[in-house]
Structure 1
Amino acid sequence: MMDSNTATMGNLPRGIGICTTIPDILYLPELVFGGWSWILVATTLVVPANPQAWVMFVSLFCFCVTFIWMVMFFGRDAQHRGSWAAADVAYHGIAAFFYLSASVALAKVTLEIKETTPLNSQNYKLDISAVVFSYVATLLYFVHTIFSAIRWKSF
């Protein structure tokens, strides 16, 4: 008999089970890399500010919604598994798209800064780090979307 906290790919985990199953184990790395992207962008002064504002919005929005989504998965009931799985695919797909657009904008601004800023400046190094963390967060959300879609199709 299976414990209520463990799950296979065809079941939605509940409770501590979200920390032990694919794709739900990706919640914590998404929060870490998204949070670091958010922090690194917030610490730099970049002109023009508009692409940076989009990056800040995406990273802050995804950080908050992912945390709320993780808490909802942690405490939800087992009814309506298919709709939860579909919502998981939809959210992570949108988050991956948002992060990809923010990562491209951040990389473009960073490349433009490279031409006017010495390569050893602190802001440039922080921007490079933010680009790397943003692309890693994009990859994590994309992988989460793929595995969530596989789980959703198994229902």
Structure 2
Amino acid sequence: MSSATSTTSLPSGLDVLTTFPDVLFIPEITFGGLVWILVASSKVPLPILQGWVMFVSVFCFIMSTTLLCLYIFGVHRGSSSWIALVFAFLATLMYVIHKICSLLRWKSS
């Protein structure tokens, strides 16, 4: 009895920019850089309050750029990677932590 499993390989090189999920790296990096610039240039009374937002935006920007470079250079060797899943989980976790802390700070003011 044979199983009907299909193995799909991830593209590498500049072919990464031709598939739909991978082409989303470009707006993610673009908007991530804009968030980083906007947070860094904003004037707040207590700069420590924007520290977590700056950390999350810089972390996500650097990780998105790193993942795109790894995919372009073919480090994943064509197989699906769990690194993208871990990155998405960490980014979501950090944004949720920021949202909870922001809500608590807003509630106490």
TM-score class, shorter: 0.7 to 0.9
Q: Taking structure 2 as the reference length, what is the TM-score of the superposition?
A: 0.73
Q: CA RMSD in A?
A: 2.8
Residues 36 and 54 in structure 2, CA contact (< 8 A), matched pair in contact too: yes
**Which of 45, 48, 65 pairs up with 1:47?**
45
Instruction: Name the structure with the higher helix share.
Output: 1
1:139 maps to which residue?
Answer: none
Stretches of structure 2 that go unaligned for 5 or more consecutive residues are 1-6
Residue number in structure 1 paired with 2:29: 31
**Contact 1:14–1:76 under 8 Å retained in 2:** yes
The equivalent residue for 1:96 is 92
2:66 matched residue in structure 1: 68
Instruction: Count matched residues.
Output: 100
> How do 1:1-155 and structure 2 match up within 5 A?
10-77=8-75, 79=77, 81-82=79-80, 85-102=81-98, 104=99
Distance 1:88 1:48, change over 3 A: same
CA gap of 1:67–1:106, structure 2 versus 1, over 3 A, is: farther
Supply the distance in 2 between the matched residues of 1:61 and 1:44 (Cα, whole angstroms).
Answer: 18
> Gapped runs of 5+ residues in structure 1?
1-8, 113-155
Corresponding residue for residue 4 of structure 1: none
Q: TM-score, normalised by structure 1?
A: 0.54
